[in-house]
Structure 1
Amino acid sequence: MTDCSSTNPQLLLSQALAGERDCFGQLLSVYRNYLKLLVVAQLERCLQQRVSPSDVVQETFLEANRDFDQFRGQSIGEFCAWLRMILVNNLHRVVEQHVLTAKRSVRREVSLEVLAGSLEQSTARLDAMLSDPGNSPSGTYQRQEQELDLANQIAALPPDYREVIILRHIEALPFEEVAKRMQRRTGATRMLWVRAIRCLREKMDE
């Protein structure tokens, strides 16, 4: 029996492609915090009160498990892009359901293309928080591992620290808007952000 306890995504993907379904389950768990971070960045606060980001991620995992036979890639980068494609479709369905339920105006409806573009922007902003390891295949793989680790470390932060980092870095909001979202003064929000970044860097250096 193959050992599927590794957290190495490329190894787990290779084992899953070889037919080890237990390894596929472990592979999905490696991406849990990464995908949840992207969901939180896309859902408005009002929607997060009615829709659990964890539920959106779990639905994505169920669909990925069901459709894994249709995945045609080999690399972890291709797999991550495939997961994001499933995720954005689930996000679009959730947003549409709640827009219709709330009877919001057509102007507020979000197209699949717009949502996909927004999610890719969030992905790029998460990537931008990391130092550049280069463009070699090993550098690309290192980047993927770093992104997963960064998402895990952000998930482990205290709630206020996590929220200010997501709003400032993943949603790319100005401090004034971050302060408004968090119902704080702008100066206090800046200080919170400084403490949050310091805490995150310490975790990343451990």
Structure 2
Amino acid sequence: MTSYEPEPNDEPIDNQPIDVSDPAIVAKYESYLRMLARVQMRRALQAKVGASDIVQQTMMQAVGAIDQFRGGTEAEFRGWLRQILARCLCHLDRDMHRDKRDVRREQSMEQRLAKSSMRLEGLLAGDGPTPSQNVAAGENVLQVVMAIERLPDAQREAVRLHYLEGKKLSEVAEQLGKSTGAVAGLLHRGMKSLRDQLGGLE
């Protein structure tokens, strides 16, 4: 396991320091990692191995290698965890298809996970860069994840597919077997619920 080095195009890094002296801190990020895993895992893989299983593997590796984390901020720690998750996802995909290790595939997976994380962190952000408009800065991203998890199933899936996976309204409607109007309603209610839940962060 190598130490995490932020990529030039990595997510904006906040300055909130993080103390990783207790490996148990990894458990705080279980929901965050599970949401990213659900976004990136192929459906064929999800049918055989649940997102929770791959997240448990990721967390075990992170705990075992916690002394190799060289960052100092919460955002850098999320990046390090995503790096481990990307490696686990690619290893699973490789094992299922009996392929050789492909470093480029792992790097691509890391980039996709980072993009999904940025979408998650910017989910409720306003158009401007002020702190009050960026409710997902720092550790608040974990609160956003938990708020999404609390949504009713249909709203949660619609929000995940449209905002985190970047699917068009018509694509979400097709996947959920609903009309575009019904999906628009789910998204509207889901986002309203998220804003209500997270109002204290603004």
Give the structure-1-normalised TM-score. Answer: 0.76
Q: Deviations over 1:164-198 (max 9, x none)?
A: 10100000100111111112222221222222222
Which residue identity does 1:114 align to in structure 2?
Answer: S
Q: Does 1:168 align with 2:166?
A: no
2:199 corresponding residue in structure 1 = 205
Q: Does 1:59 align with 2:57?
A: yes
Which residue identity does 1:144 align to in structure 2?
Answer: G
Q: Of 70, 73, 77, which aligns to 2:71?
A: 73
Q: Does 1:156 align with 2:150?
A: yes
Aligned-residue sequence identity (percent) comes to: 30
Q: Of 120, 126, 133, which aligns to 2:120?
A: 126
Q: Deviations over 1:130-159 (max 9, x none)?
A: 3269589xx999712221110111112222
- 1 CA distance for matches of 2:70 and 2:135? 18
- 1 CA distance for matches of 2:114 and 2:71? 19
Greater alpha carbon shift after TM alignment, 61-70 vs 122-131: 122-131
Return structure 1 stretches of 4+ with deviation > 3 angstroms: 132-136, 139-142
Structure label with greater radius of gyration: 1
Q: CA RMSD in A?
A: 2.7
Residues 155 and 162, structure 1, Cα contact 8 Å, conserved in 2: yes
Pair 1:165–1:142, CA change in 2 (3 A): closer
Greater per-residue helix proportion: 1
Structure 1, unaligned stretches of length 5 or more? 1-9, 102-109
2:185 corresponding residue in structure 1 = 191
Q: Deviations over 1:90-147 (max 9, x none)?
A: 111122223349xxxxxxxx922221221111112112213269589xx999712221
- 2 CA distance for matches of 1:46 and 1:28? 28
Structure 2, unaligned stretches of length 5 or more? 1-15
2:47 corresponding residue in structure 1 = 49
2:106 corresponding residue in structure 1 = 112
User: What aligned pairs does 1:89-104 form with structure 2 within 5 A after superposition?
Assistant: 89-100=87-98
Pair 1:163–1:62, CA change in 2 (3 A): same
- 2 CA distance for matches of 1:127 and 1:94? 27
Residues 130 and 146, structure 1, Cα contact 8 Å, conserved in 2: no
